Amino acid sequence: MLYLIGLGLSDERDITVRGLDIVRSCSRIYLEAYTSILTVPVNVLEEYYGKTVKVADRDFVEIESDEILRDADKEDVAFLVVGDPFGATTHTDLVLRAKERHIPVRSIPNASIMNAVGVCGLQLYNYGQTVSLVFFTDTWRPDSFYDKIKQNATLKLHTLCLLDIKVKEQSIENMARGRKIYEPPRYMTVNEAVAQLLEVEEKRGDGICGTNTVAVGLGRVGCNDQTIIAGTLEELLDAEVGPPLHSLVIAGQMHFLEAEMLKSYAINPASIDQYADIHE
């Protein structure tokens, strides 16, 4: 059996009891290490599981999936994913490859940012399409996400923005020269995301992500040092959200209870009342 097991959002203890039992019974264990991160290193997981864990980066999962699936029809193999197993399309691809080989697959769900974001007080059923914000470069400044935020805003829905993670990335020069030299890990902050949103708004000019747009910055959701800060994009531009990982929510129309929750996290509660479209 190939098991895809969600680890939750914080540390080694966030795995479910069922997931832990399965991990401890598996012959081989892989940890997907590029779509998200836990707050503890791999050796802490190994100590807690009592098993060796092999870190699987993007290249390994996408190019060398044969190794993960090796003998999975004869023995139990665990593929560990921070958050929920199906938070990234790569994992769907792994399941399809397993099915092509007639390898049984079972998934063990867990909390992910997609549902844990409800902690900020904006109701999950009032969210529209989720968007991803990538790091801008001097030559690449994509803004297609703006259209989805606009569609959500038209429907008066909130937008969850997932912020870019750069792990084991190569510079263009090192890639061109075939040098296996990797850049230090980078994790987009709420401040960087807001700056990029305001830049795109200046270019597009539809008033979707203006300085007065109400948003919520979240840091390390599910952890003991979780941070939630609400305010306008202008206010969040310099807000301290703490260590990674960060997420950002663009608020749509709010029920008065949602607005009250945001005010409890607000830099300036008056900003929520002044700029939010609140209804009962």
Q: Which residue positions form the known binding site for S-adenosyl-L-methionine?
A: 9, 84, 87, 112-113, 163, 221, 246
Taking alpha carbons only, the member of 242, 236, 218, 220 closest to residue 228 is: 218
Q: What is the CA radius of gyration of the chain?
A: 20
Contact 228, 267 (CB under 8 A): no
Contact 44, 11 (CB under 8 A): yes
Taking alpha carbons only, the member of 86, 84, 25, 81 closest to residue 56 is: 81
Contact 160, 130 (CB under 8 A): yes
Residue 196's contacts (CB-CB under 8 Å, 6 or more residues apart) are: 133, 136, 141
Annotated binding-site residues read 9, 84, 87, 112-113, 163, 221, 246
Taking alpha carbons only, the member of 124, 32, 26 closest to residue 71 is: 26
Cis peptide bond upstream of 245, omega within 30: yes
User: Which helix H or strand E contains 271, and what residues bound it?
Assistant: helix 269-275
